[in-house]
């Protein structure tokens, strides 16, 4: 077996509950394969503000820096959302984490599970077989440009360097090589200078990958195509804010936001996080869907090069969907609790199909 240092940042709302289930599943993987994961827990978000006044305390950052990889639950608390003048916000913790650790590539797979096609607001024939992965640039663009107020207004600058574009473009093309060999660059090159730079650089990077077809699409059109004909997409490559928006849009294809995992990768460490937020209305009720976090843990296993283990987690998740061992958001009736679903997935890894009879 292997030894790994795993950081764990449960965060706010339902974060701690869904993270607990992912750890349960990782424990099942470790005992089956003889691995040893050492977990270090840290506060982030509103809970960190409550404890220390800082949404990303130095101790938490240090835990992440020392980690081979880390899990992140969710951040956000309604008490900050309706206060436009709040000086500290939970979200600053996440943005600072991305920037300080150089987590520049946000990878968001969108899969239409056959057993869940009926849950999507889109027609089954449009979404059956959809398999998309979004490569969203995560440490540049309008999120991190200079921002401020003027006498009678406000501004947010959008900037990109060649280097920032090239490094994520390479990752997107490499991913396409193991997939359907198609990259769609989403931009607004008819209006924005940064988008024109993206087109120029990405066309240049594409020369290194002659087996991959590259298509460039304006973001407004891409938003429409995502609903009209999502099967045309394989790898989507895009800048920070367009990726934020298009990935939420794409999430309706899978039928539930509660199923979508993500990875945020840098050169030193990587973070794995469900796409859904802190869902404060469900916090502490043991009803939140843990599968997105469990699937994020599977992406972490892939990243740690534990490929069979990742496959096994995904098979266990598919089994829970197939057997209707799911939370209320996906259930035809009442559904099961967060920890029952986690137990099912962990037991399935330990015992296989046998565990389904109980």
Which candidate in 104, 113, 135, 143 is catalytic? 143
Among 244, 309, 312, 343, binds ligand IPM (CB under 6 A): 244
Could you tell me if 181 and 213 are in contact, meaning their C-beta atoms sit under 8 angstroms apart?
yes
CA dist., res. 42 & res. 277, Å (int): 18
Which is closer to Mn ion, CB of 57 or CB of 254?
A: 254
Residue 136 marked ligand-binding: yes
Which is closer to Mn ion, CB of 4 or CB of 276?
A: 276
Residue 351 marked ligand-binding: no
Which candidate in 77, 187, 234, 244 is catalytic? 244
Residue 94 interacts with ligand IPM (CB under 6 A)?
Answer: yes
Residue 108 marked ligand-binding: yes
Could you tell me if 246 and 45 are in contact, meaning their C-beta atoms sit under 8 angstroms apart?
no
Residue 248 marked ligand-binding: yes
Residue written as token pair 């960190």? 48
Which is closer to ligand IPM, CB of 182 or CB of 188?
A: 188
- Binding residues (CB under 5 A) for Mn ion: these are 244
Could you tell me if 297 and 7 are in contact, meaning their C-beta atoms sit under 8 angstroms apart?
no
Residue 91 interacts with ligand IPM (CB under 6 A)?
Answer: yes
Which is closer to ligand IPM, CB of 158 or CB of 212?
A: 158
Which candidate in 50, 208, 220, 354 is catalytic? 220
Residue 239 interacts with ligand IPM (CB under 6 A)?
Answer: no
Q: Is 188 annotated as catalytic?
A: yes
- Please give the radius of gyration of the chain, using alpha carbons only, rounded to the nearest integer: 20
CA dist., res. 105 & res. 127, Å (int): 26
Instruction: Report how far apart the first and last C-alpha atoms of the chain are (Å, whole number).
Output: 30
Exposure string over 288-316, b if 16+ CB within 10 A, otherwise e:
bbbbbbbbbbbbbbbbbebeebbebbbeb
94 binds, among Mn ion, ligand IPM, none (CB under 5 to 8 A by kind): ligand IPM
329 binds, among ligand IPM, Mn ion, none (CB under 5 to 8 A by kind): none
| DSSP string for 111-163 | E--GGGGGGSSS-HHHHTT-EEEEEEE-SSGGGTS-EEEETTEEEE-----HH
Residue 98 marked ligand-binding: yes
Q: Is 12 annotated as catalytic?
A: no
CB of 94 to ligand IPM, least distance (A): 5
Per CB under 6 A, residues contacting ligand IPM are 91, 94-95, 244
In the annotated binding site for substrate, the residues are 98, 108, 136, 220
Question: What residues act catalytically?
Answer: 143, 188, 220, 244, 248
């Amino acid at each position: 077996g292997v030894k790994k240092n795993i950081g764990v940042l449960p965060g706010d709302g339902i974060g701690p509950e869904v993270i607990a289930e992912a750890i349960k599943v990782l424990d099942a993987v470790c005992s089956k394969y003889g691995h040893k994961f050492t977990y270090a827990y840290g506060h982030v978000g509103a809970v960190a503000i409550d404890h220390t006044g800082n949404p990303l305390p130095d101790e938490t950052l240090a835990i992440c820096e020392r980690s081979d990889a880390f899990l992140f639950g969710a951040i956000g608390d309604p008490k900050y959302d309706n206060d436009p003048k709040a000086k500290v916000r939970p979200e600053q913790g996440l943005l600072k984490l991305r920037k300080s650790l150089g987590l520049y590539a946000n990878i968001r797979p969108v899969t239409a599970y056959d057993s869940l096609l009926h849950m999507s607001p889109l027609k089954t024939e449009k979404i059956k077989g959809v398999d998309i992965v979004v490569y969203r640039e995560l440490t540049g663009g309008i999120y991190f440009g200079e921002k401020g107020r003027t006498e009678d207004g406000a501004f947010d600058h959008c900037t990109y360097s060649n280097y920032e574009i090239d490094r994520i473009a390479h990752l997107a093309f490499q991913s396409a090589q193991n997939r359907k060999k198609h990259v769609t660059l989403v931009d607004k090159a008819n209006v924005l200078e940064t988008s024109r730079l993206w087109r120029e650089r990405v066309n240049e990077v594409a020369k290194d990958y002659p087996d991959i077809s590259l298509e460039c699409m304006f973001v407004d059109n891409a938003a429409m195509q995502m609903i009209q004909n999502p099967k045309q997409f394989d790898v989507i490559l895009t800048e920070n804010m367009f990726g934020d928006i298009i990935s939420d849009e794409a999430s309706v294809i899978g039928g539930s936001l509660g199923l979508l995992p993500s990875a945020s990768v840098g050169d030193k460490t990587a973070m794995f996080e469900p796409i859904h937020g802190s869902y404060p209305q469900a916090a502490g009720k043991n009803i939140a869907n843990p599968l997105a976090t469990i699937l994020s843990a599977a992406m972490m296993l892939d990243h740690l090069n534990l490929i069979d283990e990742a496959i096994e987690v995904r098979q266990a998740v598919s089994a829970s969907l197939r057997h209707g061992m799911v939370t209320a958001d996906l259930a035809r009736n009442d559904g099961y609790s967060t920890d029952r679903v986690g137990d099912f997935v962990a037991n399935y890894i330990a015992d296989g199909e046998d565990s389904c009879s109980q």
